[in-house]
């Protein structure tokens, strides 16, 4: 019976992610739309990053043959024009989409392929085309864009070659107007998200969360205080980071934890936990499915729907939980028996609603030629979801559109 007890957790761990769906979401179904490819780039990878409330999509194109793997192209898609390539003239650079507003304005970033240069940001829209600089004469990276054209911007820090350059930290740019957030929040270290009302969220070096309009309180930790920041640089053993805020002032937060001590979901080492915080002071922990070794939350809408992805656990991690070395005789035999049957290390697109988490592809009415949905990256206010999956063995961008009953 001892040997049998070893294999029961294996089947529970592998199968349990596929048993997450309940009657709660049985009525919600989606149709899947393939966003297509650019002529001449049929073999490359396509990632839908952002969707606006008009149903337009912007995303990245990855050169399948390039090493390291970075995006070297961007696209826009809508139901009328399909997928179109966005031509850019930044030279030998990587390029990727950061944000996309309801007017079709894309906020993007570039970085030189060779060297360690600081990224720069740009605008693109159908009418004006490409604008090489978000802020003339100000280098840095923009992270968030509103429908009014406001952007959240992090200027380039000083460098040894340019000692006179000044790093004032996170800044809001609105045309020629520049608001340095540290003037009102001196301890602010990073701010990465802003909503349409101009509410922004960020954090300090010590892991304290900050906002211009939200008071973070009622921390759900034993000490009643935010986790301490134990190191001044990334990776941090324990800290909080707010990485999204909706127009309804829901804040999506990652809690980085000491994964050498914290265990979640059947012995899975926790790299980080996820929370939703609302302006009333309520913390709600995002559910973690069992059987995964890594979870990512990428997007949230004002209704509290969250999309992201996860990685099914590697077989070696399963064995370690049972005290079996992956390279041992027993480990090799178990791997041979089960690794070919179950898709270890598979990426799966996930969806959260309320206190439940589900695999998105279970709710697609007809998967057609799609093999799997690997990650969901954004969701708009109507519940339309975009991301990346595998179709006919190739990485493609998808749009999931809710089917009305």
pLDDT digits (tens, 9 = 90+) for 274-286: 999 998 999 999 9
Does residue 192 lie within any of the structural domains?
no
pLDDT at residue number 318 = 53
Q: Is the pLDDT of residue 322 over 70?
A: no
Band of the pLDDT at 320, cuts 50, 70, 90? low
Q: Is the pLDDT of residue 25 over 80?
A: no
Does residue 4 lie within any of the structural domains?
no
* C-alpha to C-alpha distance for 399 and 383, rounded to whole angstroms: 11
When pLDDT is averaged across residues 114-136 and rounded to a whole number, the result is 79
More confident residue, 138 or 188: 188
Does residue 125 lie within any of the structural domains?
yes
**What sign for the dihedral angle of Cα 276, 278, 283, 287?**
negative
Cis peptide before 25 (omega within 30 of 0): no
Opening angle at CA 282, ends 242 and 275, nearest 5:
40
pLDDT digits (tens, 9 = 90+) for 358-391: 999 999 999 989 999 999 999 999 999 999 999 9
DSSP state of 272: E
Taking a C-beta distance cutoff of 8 angstroms, is the pair 366, 32 a contact?
Answer: yes
DSSP string, 109-156: EEEESSS-PPPEEEEEETTTEEES-SSTT--EEEEEE-TTS-EEEEEP
Band of the pLDDT at 324, cuts 50, 70, 90? low
More confident residue, 341 or 161: 161
More confident residue, 111 or 271: 111
Band of the pLDDT at 393, cuts 50, 70, 90? confident
pTM score, whole prediction: 0.82
3-state DSSP of 189-255: EEEEEECCCCCEEEEECCCCEEECCCCCCCCCCCCCCCCCCCCCCCCCCCEEEEEEECCCCCEEEEE
Judge residue 337's burial from the number of C-beta atoms within 10 Å of its C-beta, 0-12 exposed, 13-18 middle, 19 or more buried.
exposed
Does residue 82 lie within any of the structural domains?
yes
Q: Is the pLDDT of residue 155 over 70?
A: yes
Average pLDDT over the chain, rounded to whole?
Answer: 79
Band of the pLDDT at 239, cuts 50, 70, 90? confident
What percent of the chain has a predicted confidence (pLDDT) above 70?
72
pLDDT at residue number 10 = 33
What percent of the chain has a predicted confidence (pLDDT) above 90?
45
Does residue 400 lie within any of the structural domains?
no
Range of the domain at 147: 58-174
List strands edge to edge, sheet with 151-155.
Answer: 140-145, 151-155, 171-174, 177-180
Does residue 91 lie within any of the structural domains?
yes
Number of domains in the chain: 1
Q: Is the pLDDT of residue 344 over 70?
A: no
Does residue 29 lie within any of the structural domains?
no
pLDDT digits (tens, 9 = 90+) for 158-178: 655 655 555 678 899 998 888
| Crossing angle (nearest 10°) for helices 2-15 and 329-338 | 50
Q: CA nearest 151: which of 190, 100, 89?
A: 100
Band of the pLDDT at 113, cuts 50, 70, 90? confident
pLDDT digits (tens, 9 = 90+) for 58-97: 999 998 877 666 788 999 999 999 999 998 766 668 889 9
Does residue 111 lie within any of the structural domains?
yes
């Amino acid at each position: 019976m001892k040997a049998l007890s070893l294999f029961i957790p294996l089947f529970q761990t592998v199968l349990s992610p596929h048993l997450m769906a309940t009657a709660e979401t049985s009525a919600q179904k989606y149709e899947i739309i393939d966003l297509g490819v650019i002529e001449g780039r049929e073999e490359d990878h396509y990632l839908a990053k952002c969707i606006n409330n008009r149903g337009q999509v912007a995303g990245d194109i990855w050169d399948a043959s390039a090493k390291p793997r970075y995006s070297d192209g961007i696209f826009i898609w809508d139901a009328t024009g399909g997928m179109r390539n966005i031509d850019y003239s930044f030279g030998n650079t990587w390029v990727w989409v950061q944000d996309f507003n309801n007017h079709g304005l894309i906020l993007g970033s570039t970085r030189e392929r060779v060297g360690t240069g600081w990224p720069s940001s740009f605008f693109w829209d159908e009418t004006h085309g490409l604008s090489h600089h978000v802020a003339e004469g100000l280098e840095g990276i923009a992270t968030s864009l509103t429908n009014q054209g406001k952007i959240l911007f992090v200027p380039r820090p000083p460098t040894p070659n340019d000692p006179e350059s000044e790093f004032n930290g996170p800044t809001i740019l609105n045309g020629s107007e520049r608001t340095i957030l540290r003037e009102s929040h001196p301890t602010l270290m990073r701010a990465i998200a802003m909503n349409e009302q101009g509410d922004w969220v960020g954090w300090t070096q010590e892991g304290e969360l900050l906002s211009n309009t939200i008071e973070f309180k009622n921390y759900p930790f034993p000490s009643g205080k935010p986790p301490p920041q134990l190191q001044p640089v990334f990776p941090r053993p324990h800290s909080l980071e707010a990485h999204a805020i909706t127009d309804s002032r829901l804040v999506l937060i990652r809690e980085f934890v000491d994964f050498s001590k914290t265990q979640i979901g059947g012995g899975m080492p926790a790299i980080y936990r996820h929370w939703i915080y609302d302006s009333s002071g309520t913390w709600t922990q995002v559910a973690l499915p069992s059987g995964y070794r890594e979870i990512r939350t990428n997007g949230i809408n004002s209704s509290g729907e969250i999309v992201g992805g996860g990685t099914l656990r590697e077989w070696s991690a399963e064995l370690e939980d049972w005290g079996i070395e992956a390279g041992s005789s027993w480990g090799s035999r178990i791997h041979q028996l089960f690794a070919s049957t179950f898709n270890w290390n598979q990426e799966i697109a996930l969806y959260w609603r309320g206190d439940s988490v589900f695999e998105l592809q279970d709710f697609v009415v007809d998967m057609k030629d799609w093999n799997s949905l690997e990650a969901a990256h954004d969701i708009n206010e109507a519940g339309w979801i975009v991301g990346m999956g595998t179709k006919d063995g190739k990485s493609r961008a998808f749009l999931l559109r809710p089917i009305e009953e």
